[in-house]
Structure 1
Amino acid sequence: MLQTGICAAPKRILAISFKRDAAKKLADRVVKRCTPDRARRFDSYTFDAFAKSLVDRFRAAIPAQCRPPADYRVVMPSRRDYSEFLELHEFNRLFLCGSGQRAAGRRGRGEYVGRFRGIRSSSS
């Protein structure tokens, strides 16, 4: 799109991927194949990095009671954090109901794969 002119200046292209290495490979390919002025109009992020960039950019517009402090950090929760969250919000009970077992990919007693990959309920 950059090379053919479909995405003419000042338009930009945003590529979003799940993994950092995929985002970097996309950006590297564009740099290799396009002129520098065109490559500068290509942004490649992971979902997490893009979401953080939105919070950083529009932080002042977030209602005060929901706004993170200026020095906030994004951290990866531990397995224990996930377990506590699920227990607090009673997600385990939801997954034990009929269609929830299929949707969550229930493998064994209290063990689920899919959206909460690798998390076990406290009952296991």
Structure 2
Amino acid sequence: MKIWTLQAIGQLSEEDITFCPTTESNSIANLVAHISGEVHSRIETILYNIPDTRDRDKEFTRGLEMSKEQAMSKVNTAFDILIQYLEHLKSIFIQDRSFCRDMKLSGTLTEQSFRK
């Protein structure tokens, strides 16, 4: 998925990155900024205690400026953070059901009923 995303962005022009088809739409720059911000908020801030520097409102600013190189760098960094986190997850088994040991992102393990 990382490679496909980078290849897709690589095929775009600088103008394509900031193009917004309608007033209700977001540009690729907006989407890249938002995905990067989400990865930062959900993984770095919550799990690694890195201070939150995210400006969520700015992610959706009309006319957000971002070069193709910046977009590729943000996507690359976000995927690297996500992949690094996922590589450290471990599964545990409770009553023959597999769960992820670290469920901080969704909290699903804390409210599970284990009755058969």
Largest Rg, 1 or 2: 1
Higher helix share: 2
Pairwise TM-score range, normalised by the shorter structure = under 0.3
Higher strand share: 1
Tell me which of the two structures has the higher relative contact order, counting C-alpha pairs closer than 8 angstroms and 6 or more residues apart: 2
What is the TM-score normalised by the length of structure 1? 0.22
